[in-house]
Amino acid sequence: MRWVWRGLLGVAILLPAAALARPLAFVLNSDDASISIIDMATRREIRREPVLRQPHHITLSPDGKLVLAGDTVGNQILYLDPETGRILRRQTISDPYQLMFSPDGRVLTVTGLARNQVDIYAFTDATGLTLLHRVPARSMPSHIAYAPDSSVVYVSLQGSNRLMAISVRSGAVLWDVPVGETPAGVLWDHDHVLVGLMGEDGIAVVDPTDGHVLRMVRTGRGAHNLFFSPDGRLIYVTNRVAGTITVLDRASLTVLRDYRVPGGPDDIEFAPDGTLWVTQRFDHGVLFLDPRTGTYSRINVGRSPHGIFLNTDRHTHRTEEP
């Protein structure tokens, strides 16, 4: 029975080490029904947390205590511990695709891509999500952005080439207008809404009062999602068809440079050391891009990695003005 004692001893040695929390990264493997938990310091995958069917997107709760991940085909929202990556509880929600908290932290908007609906929920730690409004949408509501005062939420309708604006308080549709071929990522910036157009070669600059397109900025074929740099001076755009990430000067929206990034770049997060962590949607990888040199390394994760979250102290909200 010596192995029993050795086993216990092993557990005793390992447990304190595990208790010493190291910053973790979470990558949602959408076609592998798992979440890769990665040690940010070593960039090694520690383990894969199994989920039900198809996880896509992930976001931090306003108080920073929980990570919410949506499992679309599993019809579940998972609540994970950002320190350990363990699933704490689950809530049944139909087809949760994108999910994002408002800047004031009071509501969570969830898009039901496969059910043509946008849900607005109230959230508390104790009760989880409570539905406030369910708004019927045209085909494939996908990405989300808020006005800085949290009064309006903007949702791209990937299957109908439109962008819609919804009043957060009433759930009323303010406008719903064409913006270009296959709109995806949405970002509020300086009184404008920026929309990545996957079916075109850049982003649309949209007037938030009525949705009309003011101008286009060329970034690359298949412009997909947009992210502010941590210092708020730059905007990074992933271009799926071109296989590039374009850097825009935020003030002028002029192109500063392009990085070649293979594997179908999708979502980006920023590590404290300045590295961009990029999910490679069609190459089962996470790529670490050094923006100073344009060089990168990568690790393998599961099939079709989509949403990514880095549990860093300086994690800032996407729509926050710097």
Partner 1 sequence: MIDPFDSIAGYVQLHVLVPLLWHLDLMRWEDLAYGWALFAVYGAAQVALMFALCVPLERLFPVERWPDQRVVLTDIFYTVVQRVGVLPLVTFVGFYEVQARLNGFLTDHGYVPPTLERFLPFLMGWPVATFLLYAIILDFADYWRHRISHRIGWWWALHSLHHAQRQMTFWSDDRNHVLDDLIGALWFGAIALLIGVSPMQFPLLVLFLRLLESLSHANARIDFGPVLGRVLVSPRFHRAHHGVGAYGARSCNFGAVFPWWDMLFGTADFSRDYVPTGDPSGDEALASGSYLAQQMAGLRRLLGRGKQPAAVQ
Q: How many Cβ atoms sit within 10 Å of the Cβ of residue 263?
A: 18
Instruction: Find, among 261, 113, 256, the residue nearest to 183 by Cα.
Output: 113
44 binds partner 1 (CB under 8 A): no
Residue of 42, 92, 127, 293 that binds partner 1 (CB under 8 A): 92
In sequence order, the 6+-apart residues with CB closer than 8 A to the CB of 20 are none
Q: For residues 203 and 315, what is the distance between their CA atoms, to the nearest angstrom?
A: 25
- Minimal distance in Å, beta carbon 140 to partner 1? 6
Query: Using CB under 8 A, which of 46, 114, 173, 177 touches partner 1?
Result: 114
CA torsion angle for 250, 180, 144, 121 (degrees, to 10)?
150
Token pair recorded at residue 302: 């599961």
> What are the Cα distances from residue 274, in Å, to 54, 309, 312?
30, 15, 12
Looking at the DSSP bridge assignments, the partners of residue 89 are: 79
Binding of partner 1 at residue 269 (CB under 8 A)?
Answer: no
Q: Is 234 in the site for partner 1 (CB under 8 A)?
A: no
Q: Which residues contact 89 (CB under 8 A, 6 or more apart)?
A: 78, 79, 128
Minimum distance, C-beta of residue 157 to partner 1, in the bound complex (Å):
10
Residues between 160 and 179 that touch partner 1 (CB under 8 A): none
Selected from 63, 181, 231, 273, the binder of partner 1 by CB under 8 A is 181
User: Residue 84, interface with partner 1 (CB under 8 A)?
Assistant: no
**Least distance from partner 1 to the Cβ atom of residue 116, Å:** 5
Is residue 66 part of the contact set for partner 1 (CB under 8 A)? no
Which one of the spans 7-15, 145-153, 275-283, 311-319 is the region binding partner 1 (CB under 8 A)? 275-283
Check residue 46 for interaction with partner 1 (CB under 8 A). no
Which residue stretch of 38-46, 147-155, 186-194, 301-309 sits at the interface with partner 1 (rule: CB under 8 A)?
301-309
CB-based burial label for 303 (10 Å; 0-12, 13-18, 19+): middle
Using the rule CB under 8 A, which residue among 36, 98, 109, 304 binds partner 1?
304
Q: What per-residue string of b and e applies to 36-73 under the rule 16 or more CB within 10 Å gives b?
A: bbbebeebebeebbebeebbbbbbbbbeeebbbbbbbe
- Interface residues toward partner 1, by CB under 8 A: 31-34, 50, 52-54, 73-75, 92-95, 112, 114-117, 134, 136, 139-140, 158-159, 181-182, 198-199, 221-222, 240-241, 243, 262-264, 281-284, 300, 302-304
